[in-house]
């Protein structure tokens, strides 16, 4: 005997439709911060805390024209909105980070 999923009425939100992202997926995050020793390592450590399989060799790094800032693109394997929210919170709370996109 098979059971069908419970029916939803129009007032009950479908969590799968609350996001434009299809999980799991590769998700790039751009982080801009001060160009200091350890910035790349700190961003890699944060990415690994939220995506244990994060591959640091995929890190993309760009220096600002003036040389004072670094732009780092972290491509993580996103599995949920909660995971991405936690990652963004940790990145934006880091003292060397200026902007997270």
39-50 and 81-93 helices cross at what angle (nearest 10)? 160
Whether residue 45 is predicted with pLDDT greater than 90 in this model: the reply is yes
pLDDT, one tens digit per residue, over 58-86 is: 999 999 999 999 999 999 999 999 999 99
Q: Identify the CA nearest to 83 among candidates 61, 56, 52.
A: 52
pLDDT, one tens digit per residue, over 16-33 is: 556 788 999 999 999 999
> pLDDT value at position 63?
96
> pLDDT value at position 4?
53
3-state SS of 11-67 is: CCCCHHHCCCCCCCEEEEEEEEEECCCCHHHHHHHHHHHHCCCCCHHHCEEEECCCC
């Amino acid at each position: 005997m098979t059971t069908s999923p419970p029916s939803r009425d129009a007032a009950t939100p479908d969590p799968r439709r609350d996001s434009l992202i299809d999980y799991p997926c590769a998700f790039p995050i751009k982080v801009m911060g001060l160009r200091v020793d350890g910035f790349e390592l700190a961003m890699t450590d944060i990415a690994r805390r939220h995506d244990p399989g994060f591959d640091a060799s995929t890190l993309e790094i760009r220096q600002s024209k003036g040389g004072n800032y670094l732009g780092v693109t972290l491509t993580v394997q996103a599995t949920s909105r909660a995971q991405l929210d936690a990652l963004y919170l940790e990145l934006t709370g880091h003292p060397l980070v200026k902007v997270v996109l």
